[in-house]
């Protein structure tokens, strides 16, 4: 009798737990760590499925084999990340995500910034790596500035290309949306005198130094964040597919404006970061996208940063 009662109790308990519905949502998309005395918060804009077997400039079967070795497949669910730097009394955002320009699975930077404990009004400056839609679309919503107190900075060559009516007019039809998205995203900041360009290695706020890395676009910028002896190099779109481009950094992607220059920048920056043991991050490495680049017999190897508690 006791055994039967216990069995019935266990059966009832199991049944009750099994009835709980799956939540079907991810945890808030931010990850925070300290870089020296600076607080860095990685903000995930979401993910997008990219047909990387068609986009990477190598035989598709090579891409598919490299993905399979890492238990991945095409289309590859690819992260889009932005980076918030809180240092020296300034709050700086590096890239702004896609907003509404790249489909319903992206556009979460502002939401995750709020979940991370900040408001858009607190952001002082925004540094854009380049003007593709998944980096500038989050600057505006319904034609209004999402970050009303921020000044936006971008490379002069990128501004001269993507914000140029003449370049828009001669662009292929399937590329015109890139120009139109950049123009719409920057227009309210230009109107408010909240947009500035830079062209060389430039020291900005919060210990951030702009590092020209042209190739992926005419004015692609990477940004180095410095705090004491510590530094973080935010690579932007120097790399898109970790499963392929660490082993074979010579492989380019169809999004590149100048494939040869993009390849040269990737190899150079990978070598530099590996030789220094420098912490790096990149927009399309899987969230939270922060780690180190080591060298090995095959080429380069990605080593994710160890999880850390805040002290």
Q: What is the pLDDT of residues 247-268, one digit of tens each?
A: 999 999 999 999 999 999 999 9
Residue 3 has pLDDT above 80, yes or no: no
List b or e across 23-43, with b for residues whose CB sees 16 or more CB atoms inside 10 angstroms.
eeeeeebbbbbebbebbbbbb
- Give the span between the Cα atoms of 238 and 241, in whole angstroms: 10
Q: Which residues pair with 302 in a beta bridge?
A: 293
pLDDT value at residue 289: 97
| Tokens coding 297 | 């017999």
Identify the burial level of 71 via C-beta atoms within 10 angstroms of its C-beta, where 0-12 means exposed, 13-18 middle and 19 or more buried.
exposed
Closest of 229, 227, 222, 241 to residue 280, by C-alpha: 222
> How many Cβ atoms sit within 10 Å of the Cβ of residue 107?
21
Superfamily of domain 28-304: Ribonuclease Z/Hydroxyacylglutathione hydrolase-like (3.60.15.10)
Residue 16 has pLDDT above 80, yes or no: no
Q: Report pTM.
A: 0.93
Residue 232 has pLDDT above 60, yes or no: yes
- Average pLDDT over every residue of 127-132: 98
Can you give the residue ranges of every domain in the chain? 28-304
Integer angstrom CA distances of residue 242 from 134, 214, 221: 18, 20, 20
Integer angstrom CA distances of residue 238 from 98, 162, 222, 232: 18, 19, 8, 15
Measured in whole angstroms, the distance separating CA 62 from the mean position of its chain's CA atoms is 25
Q: What percent of the chain has pLDDT over 90?
A: 89
Could you read off the pLDDT of 179-213 as tens digits, one per residue? 999 999 999 999 999 999 999 999 999 999 999 99
Measured in whole angstroms, the distance separating CA 128 from the mean position of its chain's CA atoms is 11
């Amino acid at each position: 009798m006791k055994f039967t009662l216990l069995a019935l109790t266990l059966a009832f308990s199991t049944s009750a737990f099994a009835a709980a519905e799956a939540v079907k949502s991810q945890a808030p998309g931010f990850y925070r760590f300290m870089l020296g005395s600076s607080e860095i918060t990685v903000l995930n804009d979401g993910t997008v499925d990219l047909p990387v077997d068609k986009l990477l400039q190598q035989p598709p079967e090579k891409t598919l084999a490299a993905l399979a070795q890492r238990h991945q497949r095409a289309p590859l669910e690819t992260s889009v990340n932005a980076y918030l730097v809180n240092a020296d009394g300034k709050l700086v955002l590096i890239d702004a995500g896609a907003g509404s320009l790249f489909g319903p699975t992206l556009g979460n930077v502002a939401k995750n910034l709020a979940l991370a404990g900040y408001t858009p009004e607190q952001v002082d400056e925004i540094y854009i790596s380049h003007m593709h839609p998944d980096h500038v679309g989050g600057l505006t919503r319904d034609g209004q500035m999402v970050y009303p107190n921020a000044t936006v900075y971008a490379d002069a060559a990128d501004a001269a290309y993507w914000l140029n009516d003449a370049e828009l007019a001669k662009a292929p039809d399937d590329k015109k949306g890139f120009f139109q998205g950049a123009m719409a995203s920057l227009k309210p900041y230009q109107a408010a005198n909240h947009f500035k360009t830079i062209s060389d290695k430039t020291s900005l706020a919060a210990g951030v130094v702009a590092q020209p890395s042209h190739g992926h676009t005419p004015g692609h910028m990477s940004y180095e964040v410095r705090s004491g002896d510590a530094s973080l190099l935010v690579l932007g779109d120097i790399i898109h597919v970790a499963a392929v481009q660490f082993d074979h950094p010579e492989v380019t992607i169809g999004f590149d404006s100048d494939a040869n220059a993009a390849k040269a920048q990737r190899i150079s920056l990978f070598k530099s970061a590996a030789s220094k043991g420098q912490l790096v991050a990149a927009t399309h490495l899987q969230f939270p996208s922060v780690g180190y680049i080591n060298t090995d017999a095959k080429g380069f190897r990605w080593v994710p940063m160890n999880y850390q508690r805040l002290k």
